[in-house]
Chain A
């Protein structure tokens, strides 16, 4: 059974706060780790795809790190804005070709 766990399940922050979420995944048979942003009534959209241990990626105020040996990834949002409110999903891609999603972290940013 392939389990991808995300924490916390939900997060409420004030505008301007910085925040981070965790994604843990199996460290064996690793191919790639994806992060997606999923707004209500829309489809998930990719933020990052990371494949190498130690990878760090950044897009504006959002960044992510990857540790494949211990099986975790962090997503950071600096200076949260109300438009950052969404569910953030991570997904683990393994050698069997499965793209397995975590249950997501629901972020709410209050003005």
Chain B
């Protein structure tokens, strides 16, 4: 029973397309994140939601729009995909308790051709 699940695991699409990546957590956590893993394996924070509200929006192009229909879901929609968007995207969630860790999804490898 996966705690944080992302779909799809792999996504290959053409430049200019619009695509979504879904994330769901069954841990009852209040906070969810999206991270982008760059070519050097560095996890760069993109967005953070707390109980469906956006609290962090890093300098991410407007083509990226997160959507949180409820606190268990944080989806990432990307418009007009570009070659540079190719990366692995990780969703994570954590509880409000500062003593708890983040739990990660398995990642979505996005390839734009």
Interface of A toward B, CB cutoff 8 Å: 31-32, 34, 36, 38, 42-46, 49, 51, 87, 89, 91, 93, 96-101, 103-104, 106
B72 CB to closest chain A CB (Å) equals: 18
- A and B contact pairs by CB, cutoff 8 A, 14 listed: A31-B98, A34-B101, A34-B102, A42-B106, A43-B104, A44-B104, A46-B102, A46-B103, A49-B100, A97-B50, A98-B45, A100-B45, A101-B35, A103-B41
A77 CB to closest chain B CB (Å) equals: 19
B31 within 8 A of A: yes
- Residues of B in contact (CB 8 Å), total 27
What is the bound-complex CA distance between A79 and B98, given in angstroms? Answer: 31
Chain B contacts with A in 50-108, Cβ cutoff 8 A? 50, 55-56, 90, 92, 94, 98-107
Is the contact region of chain A dominated by helix, strand, or loop, or is it mixed? strand
Residues of chain A with a CB closer than 8 A to B98's CB: 31-32, 49, 51, 93
- Counting residue pairs across A and B whose Cβ atoms lie within 8 Å, the total is 59
Is the contact region of chain B dominated by helix, strand, or loop, or is it mixed? strand
Q: Once the chains bind, are B99 and A101 in contact (CB under 8 Å)?
A: no
B9 CB to closest chain A CB (Å) equals: 11
Q: Once the chains bind, are A87 and B41 in contact (CB under 8 Å)?
A: yes
B110 CB to closest chain A CB (Å) equals: 16
With A34-B102, A87-B41, A104-B42 known to touch, is A43 a contact of B107 (CB < 8 Å)?
yes
Residues of chain B with a CB closer than 8 A to A87's CB: 41
